[in-house]
Every structure is written in C-alpha cells, then in structure tokens.
Amino acid sequence: MRAERITSDRVAAFSDGIFAVAVTVMVLDLKAPDRAAFSSLLPLWSTGVSYAVSYLFIAIIWINHHHLMRLVGPPTLRLIWINFIHLFLVSLLPFATSWIARTELAPSPVAAYAGLFVCIDIAYNIFEREILTQGEGERVPDRARRLARRRSLIVLGGFATAAVVAFFAPLVGFGLVCASLILHLRPDVTNSAAGEP
C-alpha cells in the first residue's frame, strides 16, 4: 500500500513541478519598463492581462489536478501517459501567452491561445475520466460524475467557441476564454466525493 501511495505521490510531485516551471517561464516574459512613470506601464497592458489569465488557468488546473490526485489509487501506465500528455500541453502555455501579449491580442494568436485551452481541457477531461473509472474512483457518486461531465462539456464548448470567434473578434474570444474559466474555479467532483457542500 505504501509503495502505491509513493508512486501516485511521485506523479503528483512531477506534475506540480511542471506547473511551477510553466508559471516561472511566463513571469520571465514580464519586462519592466525603462522609465520611472506609471504611464510607461500602459503599453504593457496586453502582457499583464495575458499573464494574469494564463496564471489563473494554471492555478485552476493545479487545484483540479490536486483534488483528482487524491482519488488515485495505484496509477496505471495509461494514467501516467495521459498525465504526461496533459502536462505537455500545459507546457506550451507560456509560448501562447507570450504570442498574444506581443501581438496585443491579435486574431490568430488569440485563436491559437483558445485552441490550446481546448486541447488542454480535452486532455484534462480524459485524465479526469481515467481517474474516476479506476477502482478508487468508485468513491465518487454518480451524480458528481455526471455534473463533472456536464461542466467539462460546457467549458470545452466555451473554449472552442472562443477559438472560432477570435478570428473575427479577438477581444470577445479572449473574454469567452475568461468566462469559461470561471466554471472550473471549484473542483466540484472531489468536493462531492468528500461529502462537502
């Protein structure tokens, strides 16, 4: 039993490291202006906004990932590979964030940014489903699983819509990404599993 926990703890620890590195790489892109005036911060608005949204996204992913990992029994090789794919996609977030910041939320970069959110969310949904279908996942009530599936589809639809809309109205597309993130602020599945309100 202890060996099993160590294995799942190692998966969680490695994942935590990837999330931390992604945030660190993003913050390195924040360059302070040369002038000592608040007005010199205004041209950096797109960098600040894109960093804040990406940081929030990583925080949400980490919180949900952390709660899901509490349900993992002995991780299967399949689960580990699904996690690696998910983390690979997360590792691309600093690049996408930098692109939308440098182009001041231009259509193609915002569409690619939202498209990356779609890919990350699909990988997360597969990861979530894999955990919930494992033996330990039986602790999660059916109602909570249905709610998680419904919420995931709504969020995925929001990101996909944002990717399409961004080609015509990038600020609206970016706003849809932000709105979709709100649905993932609380990891309802694990709270329900733990019997929390």
Confidence of residue 32 (pLDDT cuts 50, 70, 90): confident
- Which pLDDT belongs to residue 69? 85
Mean of all residue pLDDT scores within the chain: 84
**The domain spanning residue 118 has which CATH number?**
1.20.1410
pLDDT reported for residue 67: 83
8-state DSSP, 31: P
Cβ–Cβ < 8 Å for 176, 165: yes
* pLDDT confidence of residue 188: 56
**What is d(CA 128, CA 156) in angstroms, rounded to the nearest whole number?**
14
pLDDT at 140: 64
pLDDT in tens, 87-111: 999 999 999 999 999 999 999 999 9
- pLDDT value, residue 137: 42
Q: What is the pLDDT of residue 182?
A: 86
In this prediction, residue 196 carries a pLDDT of: 41
Find out whether 186 and 148 touch, Cβ atoms under 8 Å.
no
Query: Full-prediction pTM beyond 0.75?
Result: yes
Separation between Cα atoms, residue 57 and residue 188, nearest integer Å: 17
pLDDT score recorded for residue 183: 81
| pLDDT tens for each residue of 114-158 | 999 999 999 998 998 888 777 544 566 677 777 777 888 899 999
Percent of the chain predicted with pLDDT > 90: 49
* Comparison of pLDDT for 27 and 185, the residue scoring more: 27
- pLDDT digits 0-9 by tens, 60-81: 999 888 888 888 878 888 999 9
Distance CA(172)–CA(194), nearest Å, equals: 37
Split into its structural domains, the chain has a count of: 1
Which pair of tokens denotes residue 24?
């660190």
Residue 170's pLDDT is 96
Asked if residue 6 has pLDDT above 60, the reply is no
For residue 120, what are the domain limits? 2-193
Alpha-carbon distance of 166 to 107, in angstroms, equals 5
pLDDT in tens, 171-196: 999 999 999 988 877 765 444 444 44
* Of 14, 179, 3, 5, the residue nearest 87 (C-alpha): 14
